[in-house]
Amino acid sequence: MGCASLNQYSSSTIRFGPRNNLGLIEYDPIREASGIVASRNNANILWIHNDSGTPAVYAVNTRGKHLGIYILHGCTDGDWEDITIGAGAGADRDYIYIGAIGDNQSQRKSRSICRMQEPRVSEYQTPVTQHIYDVDVLNFRYPDGSHDAETLMADPVSGDLYIVTKRVNPAGIYRVPPVFPAEEPITVERIADLPFKYVVGGDVSPAGLEILIKTYTAIYYWRRPPGEALAQILRRPPETVPYIWEPGGEAVGWGAAAQGYYTVSEESLGIPARLYFYPRL
């Protein structure tokens, strides 16, 4: 893909509305929120994780209220950078995927993705702590050296996972076949490039027809015609959608019905993390 100038991208201000402030992230230990994804099975539930510390995902409702801590056993590779939801071992199940894909110095020979079946959560429940032992791990390596990455996406059409690198321009997009578990690292495939860097988050809509990819300062958007591969779409110039800069803002995720998209940030510069939503008009 050629390195098109960012000013060639058109703005989609007609498509999505202004930012709504949904409130503070209630649970104080969520201080380094690096990923967010909306539950497919639990109404008004979002999953968030820190990028270090306890290997856990946190359930919050769509107002930021704390509902549960879900600690993953056997998934302690560190530097968790993004979270997504997709198909898994059973066709009737949704799985949470967590990408231990950060590598600030680009020195690690392999990285990993962890998978667990999505728990049942009620938006009205008293906060719980639950230990998850049924966790699958896929270890992988890149075909072209080590990379730092902060974006993990699941394609509901193909079932594949995708990683986007962070620190180099062009950013590399890699396809990861979901061959869980994989103790010996598999080699992933580079399928496209993006003409910018500092990619810190991304998500594919639940129907697979829209893609968001976030940098620190902008969110890029692609619409996917039915029948086209994700690699084809991401080779095209994107549009931009509304985004107001957040200090340490690294997470973006579609709503459960693609009715808009959420963002959340790390707690940076002494500013508490808030949950934001950009509604579809």
Question: Which among 267, 215, 259 is positioned nearest to 238, based on CA atoms?
Answer: 215
Question: Which among 33, 236, 61, 47 is positioned nearest to 154, based on CA atoms?
Answer: 47
Per-10-residue mean pLDDT of the chain, 281 residues long, equals 45 80 95 95 96 93 98 87 88 88 82 96 97 96 95 96 96 96 94 96 97 98 94 94 94 97 90 94 93
Predicted structure pTM score = 0.93
Positive or negative: CA dihedral 243, 269, 113, 91: negative
* Domain 6-279 of CATH type 2.120.10: yes
In whole angstroms, what is the distance from residue 189 CA to residue 53 CA?
Answer: 30
Q: What pLDDT is attached to residue 1?
A: 38
Domain extents for the chain? 6-279
In whole angstroms, what is the distance from residue 232 CA to residue 266 CA?
Answer: 32
Q: What pLDDT is attached to residue 7?
A: 45
Half-sphere exposure of 138 (CA within 13 A, CB side): 20
Query: According to DSSP H, which parts of the chain are helical?
Result: 230-234
Q: What pLDDT is attached to residue 11?
A: 60
